[in-house]
Structure 1
Amino acid sequence: MSEAIKLFIEDARAVSIEATAKILNLKFRASGSEHPQPCPNCGGTDTFAFNSKKEKWNCRAGGIGGNDGIGMAAHCEDLDVKRRDGFLEACSIVLGLPIPDEGERESDEDRAARLKRLDDRRLQNEADATAKAASQVDFREQERQKARGIYDAAARVGRYGRPVADYLMARGCGDVGALQWLRYASDLSYWHGQDGRGRPLELHCGPAMVAPFIDRELCAIGCHITWIDLKRPPKYRPVFSDPDTGELLPSKKMRGSKKGGLIPLFGDPQARRWVGGEGIENGAAFGAWEAFREDTFYFAAGDLGNLSGPAEPSSRFAHPTLKKLDAKGVARAVMVAGPIPKADQDADDAMWIGHQVDELVLLADGDSERVMTAAAMARARARHARPGRVIPIVWPRPGYDFSKMAAEADTGT
């Protein structure tokens, strides 16, 4: 190997992953060092990523990765680094310089064939991505239609939906009477797993509270289902378990879309004061405590992630006490999603809040892990902050949620 080729290779190996990514016109996220994206060679959605801090890259679709720019350039440009000409061509791409005269090069025929192969693959990747997106849209709309069907078939709470009112009263939410948003289904199936013939398995069929997830146009995009058993305190919900494993299953389910939506409970969404948190019972119990103010809209997010949205990766922090064992059996601190909202997130990555809202009361759960919940609530406040908007976070006493507090107050315990 000539001295010129040695220096050429050494210079190429010194080029960082970040610099190589810029040469290859790869995508960079607005913040952080991990940059997931479709693979320029294999396609996909987030199958490829490079880390500018750790100096690593990886393609899950191709089952390949490495820790230098040469290998990353070779994969993206479909070059074989096991061949001398392929390796030097990758070095040339990384450096932006021609291969020295004495170095091996791919032939014009090989180059033309490689570039055509790349173009054909990229066109196919684009076609596959378009078809997949269309399929996902169709599937999502089908699920939304099923959710709307469940909700539309349920009875309004009032004359016919008394079990929902009784359930909420038992959970400390007071006598809600007739309701605009929440509904009652007398016989709703709980499906889980498959039977011996591969058909969906019905574990239970019984009464349930059905609530909609609505978007900004107040259109139902999904539904939240809570099965009811008024003979089973303190939650007054049936107990389900997996018939194969015995694992306990949730007595609540969500159908259709929840992302970006919210569950309306009481009041008018045009109100300037909103009150809500993660679950239906929490928001309803707090509303009952303040006598369902006429100037307030009460809501639920469905879960903590939909309330707060994703966190900025750089804001992660180590839990002060919780630890877990890593692959080597070493106890390490559990990492917690931080209080800072992700910078480049979509509008529907968390529930929407009306533009007119100038007071947003966020309800925390005191029976959830305190540190993680506090970080998520701080993130929710930061995400929904607007000039002139007041966002207090209200906590129940430790170990409780507002529903449990209200229920115990009603019974004098």
Structure 2
Amino acid sequence: MSEAIKLFIEDARAVSIEEAAKIMRLTFKRTGVEHPQPCPHCFGTDTFSFNTKKEKWNCRAGGIGGNDAIGMAAHCEGLDLKSREGLLEACSIVLDQDIPDEGERESDEDRAARKKRLEERRLQNDADAAARADSQAEFREKERAKARGIYEAAAPVGRHGRPVADYLEARGCGQIGAAQWLRYASDLPYWHGQDERGRPLELYSGPAMVAPFIGPDLVAIGCHITWLDLKRPPKYRPQLSDSDTGELLPTKKMRGSKKGGLIPLFGDPSVKRWVGGEGIENGAAFAAWEGFREDTFYFAAGDLGNLAGPADPSSRFAHPTLKKPDAKGVARPVTIAGPRPKPDQDGDDAMWVADHVRELVLLADGDSERVMTAAAMARARARHARPGRIIPIVWPRAGYDFSRMAVETGE
């Protein structure tokens, strides 16, 4: 090996992952050190990434990775590093220089064949991805149709849906009478587990409150189900457990789609004042405390993630008190998702809020972990902020939610 070739390879080894990624025109996120994206070789969606701090790259689809720019370039371009030609071609890519005259090169025929293989793989992966997307869209629409069926089959809360009104009153939500959005199912199955043939098992069946998840067009994309047992305070929900493990099961479930939607509780979404938080009971209790204002639309997001959306990874921070052991058993601070929203996220990564809303009151839960909840509420306010819109965050008493406060105070 000539001195010129040795120096050429050593220069390539000195190129950082970040420098090579820029030369190769790979995609950089706006912030952070981890940069996921479709693999230039395997073309899988977000299966390839490189880390500019750790000096590493990885392709989950190909099951390969490394800690140098040469290997990253070889993978992306389909080059074989075991051959002299493949090694020098990869070095040429990261240096953005021609191979020295005495170095081995791919023949024009070999280069054309390699490029053809990459293009054929890209076309096949595009076709596979399109087929998967169609299949997922079909499955999602079927689930949405099932959710709409459950909701539409339930009775409006009023004369026929009295147990829902009784449940909400017992949970501190006042006397709601009729409700436009909430419905009642007298005998709704609770499916859990499978039989010996792999078919779903009906673990329980009983009365339930059914509420829709709606999108901006006010069409149901899913439904939220709460099973009821008015003889079992303080939650007034049945106690269900896994027959094999004895593990207690949630008495609330969601069908269809939740992402980006919200649960309407009371009022008209066309008004300019909206009030809501995570759960149905908290939003309903606050609505009762306000006297179900006619100028207000009350809603629930379903959970904190749907209320606030994903966080900017660079805003993560160490919890001031909570710790957990690492792999070596050393207690380390728990890392918390931060108060800043993730940039360039999709519109349905969190619940929607209509553009005409001028006051958005966000209800926090005082019985959830305080630091994590506070960061999420700040993130929700930042995500939903618009010029001319005010977004106060209202907290209940520490250790309580609004529903429990209402029950204990009798208001």
Under TM normalisation by the shorter chain, which class is it? over 0.9
Deviates more, 1:189-198 or 1:330-339: 189-198
Deviates more, 1:209-218 or 1:245-254: 245-254
What is the distance in 1 between the residues matched to 2:330 and 2:2?
Answer: 48
Deviates more, 1:61-70 or 1:296-305: 61-70
2:300 is matched by which residue type in structure 1? Answer: A
What is the distance in 2 between the residues matched to 1:111 and 1:242?
Answer: 59
Structure 2 residue runs without a partner (length 5+):
none
Deviations 1:141-163 (A, max 9, x none): 11111111111111000011111
What is the distance in 2 between the residues matched to 1:288 and 1:350?
Answer: 26
What is the distance in 1 between the residues matched to 2:127 and 2:27?
Answer: 20
1:238 matched to 2:238 = yes
1:46 counterpart SS class: coil
Deviation (angstroms), 1:410: 2.2
1:60 is matched by which residue type in structure 2? Answer: R
1:61 is matched by which residue type in structure 2? Answer: A
Counterpart residue number, 1:149: 149
Counterpart residue number, 1:161: 161
Q: How many corresponding residue pairs?
A: 411
What is the distance in 1 between the residues matched to 2:201 and 2:43?
Answer: 37
What is the distance in 1 between the residues matched to 2:274 and 2:204?
Answer: 36
Deviates more, 1:309-318 or 1:239-248: 239-248
Counterpart residue number, 2:171: 171
Counterpart residue number, 1:336: 336
What is the distance in 2 between the residues matched to 1:334 and 1:270?
Answer: 41
Counterpart residue number, 1:27: 27
1:88 matched to 2:100 = no
Deviations 1:344-363 (A, max 9, x none): 11111111112111111110
What is the distance in 1 between the residues matched to 2:241 and 2:29?
Answer: 42
CA RMSD in angstroms comes to 1.2
Deviation (angstroms), 1:30: 2.2
2:306 counterpart SS class: helix
Deviation (angstroms), 1:43: 2.4
Alignment of structure 1 residues 6-155 onto 2, 5 Å: 6-155=6-155
What is the distance in 2 between the residues matched to 1:145 and 1:85?
Answer: 56
Deviation (angstroms), 1:109: 3.2
Counterpart residue number, 2:260: 260
Deviation (angstroms), 1:63: 1.0
2:30 counterpart SS class: coil
Deviates more, 1:327-336 or 1:180-189: 327-336
- TM-score, scaled to structure 2: 0.98
Deviates more, 1:103-112 or 1:178-187: 103-112
Which 4+ stretches in 1 moved above 6 angstroms?
none
What is the distance in 1 between the residues matched to 2:205 and 2:95?
Answer: 66
Give the share of equivalent positions with the same residue, in percent.
81
Deviations 1:353-400 (A, max 9, x none): 121111111100011000000000000011111122111111111111
1:212 matched to 2:212 = yes
1:306 matched to 2:306 = yes
What is the distance in 1 between the residues matched to 2:28 and 2:147?
Answer: 37
Deviations 1:108-161 (A, max 9, x none): 333222111111111111111111111111111111111111111110000111
